[in-house]
Chains A and B, each alone.
Chain A
Amino acid sequence: MKKTSIASVLSSQGVLIALAALILFGWLRYDHFLGLFNITSVLRYNSMFALVSLGMCFVIMTGGIDLSVGATAALGSVVSALLSPYGTMAGTLGGVGAGLCIGLINGFVIVRLRILPFIATLAAMLAANGAALLLAGDQSVSVSYDSGFTDLGQGDFYNIPIPALIAAILYVVGSIVLNFTSSGRTVLAIGGNEDASRMMGLPVNRIKFLVYVVSGGLSGLAGVILASQFGAGQPIEGVGWELFAIASVVVGGTLLTGGLGSVGATLAGVMLLGLIFNVLNFENGMGFISLSAYWQSVIRGVFLLIVVILQSQLTGRAERVEAR
């Protein structure tokens, strides 16, 4: 049984080990890797992905999927940019509200009309994409710099980037909800055995509806930060974010079939994928090699595959040993 525990520990903590190894590698190899500037810019940039991935994590734990998160974030960024002249609050509420709307539609279509999440959110992705382009008139929408809206994405609070702070708070909340509330446990129960959950009278439909609404809202918030950070609502940003989010969740050890998962490991997954990008930038900066953004994407893909294969191997072995 000892072997079991080592294998299962490795499989659940694989993402943390990989993350630690990558940080160690960066620290030894590059001078400014752990410098304040690099750390804050990595956190600032990746906080958007972190928010989107948090929502995705809950959706996937119920056994669903949300492909609309990237397009929703783009829509959120456009709406918040358009509303930013009326103040930070208006911009934020507008962006989050737009995201919530997409989430409500997703939830309704999936739970009430019983359409598969993959299809429902694919449709929502196309619709949100179109809506963003329509609202923006086919170009990026500059935000108002007078209203203080940009502080949200660009500002710091005691050296901590504000978007990272927002993401951190929401991850803490997410973790508490998942681990200590009946709704959170119901999320996992649905993913673990939806029929059993229904038969024991858990509010399956309500919770499934809610995870899509939350995912929409968080995507909208990511859009708000996007607009605020880059000074413009970006109708064509967000392409591929859903895949990044799914990758982060999966790297974090959450089962795509649902039922098992962790909010913290998802955050570690986001950081891992973000840091790979960062490390490649440093590598370029050292001048030994020069990798285009396309190559970086290839390398990220390969890395993702390696981590996932490793995890499935380890998990498989742990299960085989336990079954004996």
Chain B
Amino acid sequence: MTASATSPSVSPLLSMRSVSKAFGGIPALSEASLEVAPGEVQALIGQNGAGKSTMIKILTGYIGRDKGEILFDGAPFEARSPQDAQNNGISTIYQEINLVPFRSVTENICLGRESRRYGLLDWQAMHEQARKLLARFKIDLDVRKPLLRFNTATQQMVAIARAIGFKAKLVIMDEPTSSLDEREVAVLFDVIRQLKAEGVSVVFVSHKLDELYAVCDRVTIMRDGRTVKTADMASIGKLELVASMLGRDIAQVAKSATAFGDRRGRIGDVVLTANSLAAGHKVHDVSFSVRRGEIAGFAGLLGAGRTETARLVFGADPLQSGALSLDGAAIHPREPIEAIKAGIGFSSEDRKLEGIVPEMSVAENLTLALMPQLARAGIVDDAKQRAIVEKFIQRLGVKCSGPDQKIRELSGGNQQKVLLARWLAMNPKLLILDEPTRGIDVGAKAEIQSLIKELADQGLAVLMISSELEEVLEGSDRVFVLREGRSVAEFSHAEATESAVMTAMAHGDSDLVAEGSAS
């Protein structure tokens, strides 16, 4: 399974072999393997759902494994809980800083392993301990001050100091740089190098490819619950990394332009124009447009800012700069309701969190947003509601026992159809579909994809985001590539070959890269 490019010369610190795990019969990890040498920094990468988190959770004792063996420090290892893992020398640092902001640095570091004297807390010793620990990373600060007085990077360092304690042998960092700016990242990298020099191993999860090259020795790539490749960072190119993550064979990326048909004749005027959108940490400079009857696709790696950009268009997050216009008129949606009134629909990538209301019926999930229009003197017109629900259930082929069935009882594909119907019933000009086929079985997926094309044929402007490159390439009239919050390239359907798009995803297109973007 794992074709280890170079076996470490010394015996590995950690060795996970053929680890499998399924949730409710659905495999999350299949025969995944990971080997980390002492003092090695190893990158672990993969798309959403590739199995990185499951792997880490098993290692740190959050969840058990179904199959496979784990050797740590030369002995079989099974963490019963994260505390247990930590006591054995495996520490984890999460994306979100997990500390108590109002308490002092010392308390944040020593919480749970306080020094005691005569049964009381020995503050003197604890302050000293905290200072010593931070000094290891060349950080000197007043450990008595509350944590919230310090900036994010320092807080991150404190989190790392806490996690590492004095005896970590392996440190797992789950996207530690996502909330840091460039300077702070540099400080973090110094810490990682320091750890490495002390013989501590690091597993580094990140979606920013440049970072991997800056700090990692080797990389393990995961896809669909499997570890598909392990290689020395020095011997693998960005394009190959991306290709492995997406499961495309770099040798045969010649694209077959099939089955899409010529839709150019049906594409009309520009519906939405977005100019230099920017907001927060994730979106820096994104421009694109969508025309009537056109499916515009967003391609990009995780963290490229695709969803964040779509949320800006929909008013779900505040736009900091840039301009949007719909049908030629400027719009500034501050709430989803304003975008909806302007004629924009948005189907979220997270059906459970932002899509369905689980305890409500299919009918209600479909018509909730329409209800004010269905009401006569405040009372919802049941007959009208029924008619709409029946029409869409039939048109989209939703499989349910009836309009009154609770939506949570439906399969993912059918839930997605109901959510599509919710927007179609409102008759939007532009429909944004974020990962419209995620978590949906193959049959329903094809149905939804052809439905999207049908809708575009009828004149709807569609903006589609998908992490599956194939879906974007085959299903889009135009492809916009985003990389680290900037739009870096635009391709027509014919130009959008796998190699061209993947190159833009990995390196950015030099012609369009805005100044200051790292490449």
Contact = CB atoms under 8 A, between A and B. Distances in A.
Given A196-B357, A201-B336, A189 B368 contact: yes
**Max chain B CB contacts within 10 Å: which of A183, A189, A199?**
A199
B43 interface: no
B313 interface: no
B336 A200 contact: yes
B443 interface: no
B148 interface: no
B357 A259 contact: yes
B368 A185 contact: yes
Nearest to A255: B359
A322 B364 CA distance: 21
B182 interface: no
A189 B357 contact: yes
A181 interface: yes
Contact of B368 (A180, A200, A322): A200
B357 A199 contact: no
A183 B357 CA distance: 15
A180 B353 contact: no
Given A199-B348, A201-B337, A180 B380 contact: yes
Contacts of A259: 357, 359
A181 B380 contact: yes
B354 interface: yes
Interface in B330-365: 335-337, 339-341, 346, 348, 353-360, 364
Interface string A253-271: 0000001100000000000
A197 B379 contact: no
Interface in B368-385: 368-369, 371-372, 374-375, 378-380
A182 interface: yes
Contacts of B314: 199
B375 A182 contact: yes
Nearest to B406: A322
Given A196-B354, A199-B354, A186 B368 contact: yes
A176 B382 CA distance: 13
A182 B356 contact: no
Nearest to B339: A201
B436 to A, nearest CB: 15
B316 interface: yes
A101 B378 CA distance: 25
B378 A181 contact: yes
Nearest to A186: B368
A197 B359 CA distance: 13
Interface residues of A, number: 23
Contact of A196 (B339, B356, B371): B356
B422 interface: yes
Contacts of B360: 185, 188-189, 192
Nearest to A260: B359
**Max chain B CB contacts within 10 Å: which of A193, A201, A322?**
A201
B371 A185 contact: yes
B181 to A, nearest CB: 27
A180 B359 contact: no
Given A182-B372, A201-B340, A195 B353 contact: yes
A197 B274 CA distance: 26
Contacts of B379: 176, 180-181
Interface residues of B, number: 30
A192 B346 CA distance: 19
Nearest to A197: B357
B212 to A, nearest CB: 33
Nearest to A205: B335
Contacts of A193: 353-354, 356-358
B359 A192 contact: yes
Contacts of A181: 375, 378-380
Contacts of A203: 337
Given A181-B378, A181-B379, A196-B353, A202 B358 contact: no
Contacts of B356: 193, 196
A29 interface: no
Interface string A287-324: 00000000000000000000000000000000000100
A3 interface: no
A237 B433 CA distance: 55
**Max chain B CB contacts within 10 Å: which of A182, A189, A202, A203?**
A182
A7 B187 CA distance: 58
Contacts of B369: 200-202
A185 B359 CA distance: 12
Interface string A235-260: 00000000000000000000000011
**Max chain A CB contacts within 10 Å: which of B356, B359, B372?**
B359
Interface in A168-190: 176, 180-183, 185-186, 188-189
Contacts of A192: 357-360
Contacts of B371: 182, 185-186
A32 interface: no
Interface in B145-200: none
Contacts of B355: 196, 199
A34 B360 CA distance: 39
A112 to B, nearest CB: 14
A202 B368 contact: yes
Contacts of A202: 337, 368-369
B419 to A, nearest CB: 9
Interface string B122-148: 000000000000000000000000000
B433 to A, nearest CB: 13
A201 B371 CA distance: 11
A260 B358 CA distance: 10
Contacts of A196: 348, 353-357
A62 to B, nearest CB: 12
Contacts of B357: 188-189, 192-193, 196-197, 259
**Max chain B CB contacts within 10 Å: which of A198, A200, A202, A260?**
A200
A180 B381 CA distance: 8
Nearest to A193: B357
Contact of B422 (A186, A195, A200): A200
Contact of A182 (B336, B358, B380, B409): B380
Interface string B269-293: 0000000000000000000000000
Interface of B: 314, 316, 335-337, 339-341, 346, 348, 353-360, 364, 368-369, 371-372, 374-375, 378-380, 409, 422
Given A185-B364, A198-B336, A202-B369, 5 more contacts: A181-B375, A196-B353, A196-B354, A202-B337, A259-B359
27 contacts: A176-B379, A180-B379, A181-B375, A182-B368, A182-B371, A182-B374, A182-B375, A183-B378, A185-B364, A186-B368, A186-B371, A189-B360, A192-B360, A193-B358, A196-B355, A197-B357, A199-B314, A199-B348, A199-B355, A200-B368, A201-B336, A201-B337, A201-B341, A201-B369, A202-B368, A259-B359, A260-B359
Interface of A: 176, 180-183, 185-186, 188-189, 192-193, 195-203, 259-260, 322
In the complex, the 6 A-B pairs of residues with the closest C-beta atoms, listed nearest first: A182-B371, A201-B340, A192-B357, A201-B337, A200-B369, A193-B357
